[in-house]
């Protein structure tokens, strides 16, 4: 059986906030760890039937990047729920939410540039 590994290295400042984040995976293209500004990790807790979440980001991640990151996450979840369960209604609702959020962010950006 094949095994795959994903690693995260988080460097913290004196307040235990992420200063830098690096990740590496045995199956990714390219060699060596890569820097990123944010990670969002979700794990299903079988015992408590709930989701454990770890959301980390560095101080150099802009608000615009953070919003884009989470819109992308919701869009990815919409595709996953469709692939995993076949639930088209749930998938479409999530995609429509993404569309509304993109419109909201675009309007915010337009106002900020005026």
pTM (2 decimals)?
A: 0.87
Number of domains comprising the chain: 2
Question: Is the domain of 66 the same as that of 109?
Answer: yes
Asked if residues 43 and 52 have their Cβ atoms less than 8 Å apart, the reply is yes
CA atoms of 51 and 2, how far apart (whole Å): 26
Q: Does residue 50 sit in the same domain as residue 93? A: no
Q: From the first residue on, what is the mean pLDDT of each consecutive set of 10 residues in the chain (114 residues)?
A: 96 96 93 96 96 96 96 98 98 98 94 86
- My answer on whether 8 and 53 are in the same domain is yes
72 and 36, same structural domain? no
Q: Which domain holds residue 46?
A: 1-59
Beta strands in the chain (DSSP E): 6-12, 18-25, 34-36, 38-45, 50-57
Verify that 55 and 13 share a domain, yes or no: yes
Pairing of strands 50-57, 34-36: unpaired
Indicate if 43 and 66 belong to the same structural domain: no
């Amino acid at each position: 059986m094949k095994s795959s590994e994903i690693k995260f290295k988080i460097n913290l400042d004196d307040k235990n906030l992420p200063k830098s984040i690096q990740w590496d995976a045995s199956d990714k293209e390219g060699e060596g760890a890569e820097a990123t500004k944010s990670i969002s990790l979700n794990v299903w807790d079988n015992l408590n039937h709930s989701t454990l979440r770890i959301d980390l980001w560095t101080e150099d991640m802009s608000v615009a990047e953070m919003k884009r990151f989470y819109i992308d996450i919701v869009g990815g979840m919409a595709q996953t729920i469709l692939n995993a369960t076949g639930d088209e209604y749930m998938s479409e609702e999530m995609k429509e939410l993404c569309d509304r959020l993109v419109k909201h962010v675009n309007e915010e950006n337009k106002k900020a540039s005026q």
